[in-house]
Structure 1
Amino acid sequence: MGCCHYPPVIEGCDSAFTVDTSRITFGRGCLSEVGDRARALGMKRVVLFSDARVARLAHFDKVLQSLRAAGLDVAVYTDVHVEPTDQSFLDAARFASEVKPDGYVSLGGGSVIDTCKAANLYATHPADLLAYVNAPVGEGRPVPGPLKPHIACPTTSGTGSEVTGITIFDLLSMEAKTGIASPALRPTEALIDPDCTATLPGEVVAASGLDVLSHALESYTARPYVRRPAPARPSLRPMSQGANPWSDLGCREALRLMGLYLERGVKDANDAEAREQLMWAATLAGIAFGNAGVHAPHGMAYAVAGRVRDFRPSGYPDDEPLVPHGMAVIVNAPAVFRYTASASPERHLEAAGHLGADVRDATPADAGEVLAGRLVHVMRAVGMPNGLGGVGYTGADVAALTEGAFPQQRLLQNAPREMTRPVLSELFHQALRYW
């Protein structure tokens, strides 16, 4: 769909959209470029962020040696928490404040990249943690100025954090995830090397890949940008602008690639083509949702991940309960898209077709069931749990999950249909079990 297929602008709504992204280098072996690129950005003293698992891999040594070969002074931080918390963000920011770097490099999944963004923010513009956190959870204070240069090097084909201005964490006191969204947080450059995915367990590829799928699907079905209230000033236009012609391009291709390669990439670590294509899909979907925004499945996921009790997924560290982000998102998705389909049935059907569903005889009235059915098929094919019940929740948890999700208004208001508390409760009930 191009601009001409969007609804006409109505009074009080925006008539334009803005495109932002990081500078991107994509290709096998490009991690070796990090030292030269850091030096070109004027870095001399760098903090390299990673986590304990990635720090044991060859990718970490390649990045560290490239930085040192470029003559840079490198301080290393590998205490990143998988699924970061407010406390782990503060610990990382404290380290960065002590080192006083003039640039940052992150090597890892979304947890590492997000932690680096937060450390850069709070070390550069110190404030109470909740000052910059999205309202109504935090103050939603604008970032007061630019941050230090940041080169993000993703090692998973999932979050897209390397090209977005969003950072997510668990607010422990609320038992839910929340985040900070600002163009200032977007990494300066992204080095995306598909070789990094060769060592990933299939379970991690599945969860991170379904996050990609959800990014693309939610952005494609989000409220159109011409139905978002116009900002008071153009500079205040949010990143979550709603579906727009630019984001549509990335969403369609990311969905097509997910339909073709996700199952292959999960089941065969030696399928280099599949894993490279999943990495490219993650980049495309990251650029798309960084300029359109996601909606209800992600908003609901923040409560699902934040209130986990004893679920420990295969392929991840088992030292504490965890619902991986992509898994927390996808368990909500079939229920949500059954509900939202009536707002834009043609988009829901088109998305189902890109994912491999047969939509030749489908009518607009079928859109919700066709897309939900395809999502359930994909979930089962890559070994996802059977809805919320599969990660340990019951009907008795729905009220608490609803209260955890409802404050995520930045996301919920981007949905194509209204997400009230009663609606969220019903969606959580429907998401308890799918087969």
Structure 2
Amino acid sequence: MDANTLMGNWNYPTAMRFGIGRLRELGATCKEAGMKNPLLVIDPGLAALPMIGEAMESCKAVGIGCGLFHDVKPNPVGKNVDDGVAVYKAGGHDGIIAFGGGSGIDAAKAVAVMAAQTQSLFGYLEGGKDWEDIPASEIPPIIAIPTTSGTGSEVGRASVITDDANHVKKIVFNPKMMPAYVIADPALTVGLPKTITAATGMDALSHNLEAFCAPHFHPMAEGIAIEGIRLVKDFLPTATADGGDLVARSQMMIASSMGATAFQRGLGGMHALAHPLGALYDAHHGMLNAILMPYVLIRNRDVIADRLTRLSAYLGLANPSFDSFLGWVLALRQELEIPNDLSGLGIDTAKAELVGKMAVEDPSSRGNPIALTNEEYSRLFEKAVTGNLDA
């Protein structure tokens, strides 16, 4: 290895307040961030749950106001962001509380980025503007509170928002959208259904795993990824089978944040395919990654076999090798009742050519260990639809 290649620009997350019951600290944290009248942006499914009342009461208890916006789709679209900005401006808000799963937090972060802008989100992006065109002073402080353990959006510098007019997911990137504080309270994940626990947990695995396999130089992220994968191995089955196990819930929330920290090293083919499939079929992102995982691993086998042998040894798998790791992934998916192929989500091969084109254009494709063409992504997608695990 040439020492001149050992170079990188590295960033790590923000202040995190982790532990059971820490939601009660929200009001004090808002004041610490300089907020007097934040806007609470949530997933619509949370609106009637006690945790939202507790969050607003925590703000009230320290003498600050708190508005509410919950018009966010499971795969958030540009209009959700634009509507949130309108509510933010009309209410005279001065900060964002991003509360929910990846969708709610992604939408909330995008609202913060656009809070002082006059254009719509996609109008701004299509005008050739970039994150450097928005001064930090125009982005209000953000406090993120995750309620799932998958995307790790609470420690991310990007949001994934669907351009529903063109059926494409776009990555809105801005380092200044990193939340100033994260309140990570595992008790907020206790009510998640098994299917969502499994799908979001596999999303956390995909983030750590693709970061671990990415070709870019970032040894700190690699170290975080390998431990994040171990946490998923040890705790996702328990968190799914017994949703009230707070130790398992806690460890999975940590694994989720670790995955999003690690994937600044890069993502890969799983996400390059999952993003267009989510836009075209409105399917759950974590479930897509869970199904795609073995197909992408097999496609990348030639360049990741040694790496996965080392990972298998760290995980304590018998006969450490690529095959032992793949066998563990397949067994885990079966245990979690993940479909074997994309047809289980009602997806067929009719749009294979379009999927391949969108995948190669997705920024995540740049982190795949092997550079794939449109046609190769199309064939990989077809294998994932038909359940063909042959190399």
Normalising by structure 1, report the TM-score. 0.83
SS at match of 2:190: helix
SS at match of 1:170: strand
Matches within 5 A, 1:36-185: 36-130=28-122, 133=125, 139=128, 141-143=130-132, 144-146=134-136, 147-185=139-177
Q: CA deviation at 1:280?
A: 1.3
Equivalent residue letter for 1:398: A
Structure 2: gaps spanning 5 or more residues? none
Query: CA 1:384–1:132 in 2, change beyond 3 Å: closer, same or farther?
Result: farther
Q: CA deviation at 1:371?
A: 3.5
- The CA distance in 2 between the partners of 1:327 and 1:140, in whole Å, is 33
- The CA distance in 1 between the partners of 2:8 and 2:171, in whole Å, is 26
Equivalent residue letter for 1:381: E
Query: CA 1:377–1:434 in 2, change beyond 3 Å: closer, same or farther?
Result: farther
Q: Does 1:327 align with 2:291?
A: no
Query: CA 1:132–1:185 in 2, change beyond 3 Å: closer, same or farther?
Result: farther
- The CA distance in 2 between the partners of 1:162 and 1:355, in whole Å, is 27
Of 386-395 and 194-203, more deviation after overlay is shown by: 386-395
Q: 1:428 aligns with which of 377, 381, 384?
A: 381
- The CA distance in 2 between the partners of 1:99 and 1:216, in whole Å, is 39
Residue 228 of structure 1 corresponds to which residue in structure 2? none
Tell me if the contact between 1:341 and 1:348 (Cα under 8 Å) persists in the aligned partners. Answer: no
Q: CA deviation at 1:138?
A: 8.1
Tell me if the contact between 2:82 and 2:120 (Cα under 8 Å) persists in the aligned partners. Answer: no
SS at match of 1:254: helix
Q: CA deviation at 1:192?
A: 0.1
Q: Does 1:8 align with 2:12?
A: no
Query: CA 1:379–1:102 in 2, change beyond 3 Å: closer, same or farther?
Result: same
SS at match of 2:230: helix
- The CA distance in 1 between the partners of 2:116 and 2:317, in whole Å, is 48
- The CA distance in 2 between the partners of 1:307 and 1:138, in whole Å, is 24
Matches within 5 A, 1:31-430: 31-130=23-122, 133=125, 139=128, 141-143=130-132, 144-146=134-136, 147-225=139-217, 244-289=218-263, 291-308=264-281, 322-353=282-313, 357-360=317-320, 362=321, 367=322, 369-408=323-362, 410-430=363-383
Q: CA deviation at 1:155?
A: 0.6
Q: CA deviation at 1:269?
A: 1.5
* Identity over aligned pairs, percent: 27
- The CA distance in 2 between the partners of 1:132 and 1:418, in whole Å, is 30
Q: CA deviation at 1:430?
A: 2.0
- The CA distance in 2 between the partners of 1:217 and 1:200, in whole Å, is 24
Structure 1: gaps spanning 5 or more residues? 1-6, 226-243, 309-321
Query: CA 1:385–1:355 in 2, change beyond 3 Å: closer, same or farther?
Result: farther
- The CA distance in 1 between the partners of 2:194 and 2:311, in whole Å, is 24
- The CA distance in 2 between the partners of 1:55 and 1:359, in whole Å, is 48
- Structure 1 residues 127-183: Cα deviation after superposition (integer angstroms, max 9, x where no partner): 3423665xxx88461242211110000011111000011101221123232211221
Tell me if the contact between 2:33 and 2:141 (Cα under 8 Å) persists in the aligned partners. Answer: yes
Tell me if the contact between 1:333 and 1:372 (Cα under 8 Å) persists in the aligned partners. Answer: no
- The CA distance in 2 between the partners of 1:48 and 1:219, in whole Å, is 31
Q: CA deviation at 1:302?
A: 0.9
Query: CA 1:17–1:50 in 2, change beyond 3 Å: closer, same or farther?
Result: same
Tell me if the contact between 1:295 and 1:413 (Cα under 8 Å) persists in the aligned partners. Answer: yes
Query: CA 1:419–1:93 in 2, change beyond 3 Å: closer, same or farther?
Result: farther
Query: CA 1:272–1:85 in 2, change beyond 3 Å: closer, same or farther?
Result: same
CA RMSD of aligned residues (A): 2.0
Q: CA deviation at 1:78?
A: 1.8
Equivalent residue letter for 1:431: A
- Structure 1 residues 254-274: Cα deviation after superposition (integer angstroms, max 9, x where no partner): 100111111111111122221
Equivalent residue letter for 1:414: G
- The CA distance in 1 between the partners of 2:294 and 2:129, in whole Å, is 31
Tell me if the contact between 1:251 and 1:288 (Cα under 8 Å) persists in the aligned partners. Answer: yes
- The CA distance in 2 between the partners of 1:159 and 1:22, in whole Å, is 16
Equivalent residue letter for 1:274: A
Of 336-345 and 23-32, more deviation after overlay is shown by: 336-345
Tell me if the contact between 1:105 and 1:152 (Cα under 8 Å) persists in the aligned partners. Answer: yes
Count of residues in correspondence between the two structures: 385
- The CA distance in 2 between the partners of 1:277 and 1:434, in whole Å, is 33
Normalising by structure 2, report the TM-score. 0.92
- The CA distance in 2 between the partners of 1:385 and 1:74, in whole Å, is 41
- The CA distance in 2 between the partners of 1:376 and 1:56, in whole Å, is 37
- The CA distance in 1 between the partners of 2:258 and 2:57, in whole Å, is 29
